[in-house]
């Protein structure tokens, strides 16, 4: 059985279980931490727009200061298929690199550990990262094969190893893709952290995280790494059977903020998904804000850019009214 067939069959089983769980009335979601969170929505109708200016404006609205910090840009690089839009677009990464260098970061690196492919640099070639991003190989680390160090407070494991490039960053920027997901409902800035787990130790597609549980692992990773910012590539997202077998969905936005729970909740609302029904966001409500009343929306309003994404049958219950 090949990987895609396995993922399709496994996804149907997991999604079926998920759908049956949704018949039970979920508990009330807590308000989250004190204070409100700022999330900026900036229009960008194509990858040829001035993405640097858009990002600078969004970062300004979110009040982020990166002067003197070591910044790690974490894109979503998974698979390559010329007929779809699986990965964070190379122009988004190139713009983010320029932005954080301009804002005075002491160092800006790019790091990713693809969950499906082991030939990371070949995959980066396919996605035009090396052709688009200046001096890509000098600043890129394959997180699947980086040197690692242990941490002792992750997902109830006695010790868990993470790449030194990740552990040494002062700020991790999740450059995620706006996509649906056949197991989690949606994959955005928080799920993107699966790529910081080294495949050389924990397998492909990050088997250890699947043993722990997808939802539980999303929350555990975001609980461990709190020095974060998100810029979600929603210029062209993916709908339907995401994260690798869906279809392109032009949405024309970049969504960014310091509270990744609030960013993902906002992205869900843009996609026509109710974030209060998405399990990993319900579980992560103590880390950030899910309720719209606790999110200060800057730039565009959700209503002005909402574009309902097609959902597979098992997740129709996630639809936002």
DSSP assigned state of 136: H
Long-range contacts (CB closer than 8 Å, 24 or more residues apart) made by 82-85: 84/238, 84/244, 84/245, 84/246, 84/247, 84/248, 85/177, 85/236, 85/237, 85/238, 85/248
Please report, for residues 257, 298, 302, the alpha-carbon distance to residue 42 in angstroms, rounded to integers and kept in the order given. Answer: 11, 8, 11
As for how many domains the chain has, the answer is 1
Structural domain boundaries, residue 262: 3-318
Q: Quick one: pLDDT at residue 116?
A: 86
Beta strands per DSSP E along the chain: 37-43, 70-75, 107-112, 140-142, 148-151, 160-163, 171-175, 177-181, 185-187, 228-239, 247-257, 295-299
Q: What share of the chain is helix, strand, coil (3-state, %, to 5)?
A: 40, 25, 40
CA distance 97 to 182: 31
DSSP per residue, 59-87: HHHHT---TT-EEEEEE------TTS--S
CB of 195 within 8 A of CB of 204? no
Tokens 């993922």 -> residue: 7
pTM for this entry: 0.92
- Averaged pLDDT of the chain: 92
Length of the chain: 321
Could you read off the pLDDT of 68-105 as tens digits, one per residue?
999 999 999 999 887 779 999 999 999 999 999 999 99
Segment 223-242, tens digit of pLDDT:
999 999 999 999 999 999 99
């Amino acid at each position: 059985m090949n990987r895609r067939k396995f993922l399709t069959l496994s996804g149907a089983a997991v999604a079926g279980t998920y759908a049956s769980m949704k018949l039970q009335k979920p508990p009330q979601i807590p308000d989250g931490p004190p204070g409100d969170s700022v999330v900026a929505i900036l229009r960008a109708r194509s990858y040829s727009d001035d993405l640097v200016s858009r990002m600078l404006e969004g970062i300004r609205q979110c009040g982020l200061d990166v002067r003197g910090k070591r910044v790690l840009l974490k894109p979503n690089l998974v698979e390559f298929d010329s007929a779809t839009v699986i990965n964070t677009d190379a122009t988004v990464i190139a713009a983010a690199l320029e932005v954080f260098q301009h804002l005075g970061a002491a160092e800006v690196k790019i790091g990713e550990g693809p969950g499906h492919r082991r030939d990371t640099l070949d995959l980066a070639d396919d996605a035009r990262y090396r052709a688009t991003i200046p001096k890509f190989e000098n600043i890129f680390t394959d997180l699947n094969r980086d040197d690692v160090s242990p941490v002792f407070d992750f997902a109830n494991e006695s010790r868990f190893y993470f790449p030194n490039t990740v552990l040494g960053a002062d700020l991790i920027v999740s450059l995620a893709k706006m996509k649906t997901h056949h197991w989690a409902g949606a994959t955005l800035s928080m799920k993107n952290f699966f790529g910081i787990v080294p495949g050389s130790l924990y397998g492909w597609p990050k088997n250890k995280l699947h043993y722990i549980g997808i939802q539980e692992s999303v929350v555990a990773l975001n609980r461990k790494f709190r020095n974060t910012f998100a810029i979600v590539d929603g210029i062209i997202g993916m709908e339907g059977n995401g994260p690798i077998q869906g279809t392109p969905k032009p949405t024309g936005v970049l969504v960014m903020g310091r509270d990744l729970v609030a960013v993902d909740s906002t992205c869900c609302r843009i996609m026509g998904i109710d974030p209060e029904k998405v399990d990993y966001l319900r579980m992560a409500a103590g880390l950030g804000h899910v309720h719209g009343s606790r999110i200060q929306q800057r730039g565009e309003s959700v209503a002005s850019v909402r574009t309902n994404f097609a959902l597979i049958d098992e997740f129709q219950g996630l639809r936002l009214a």
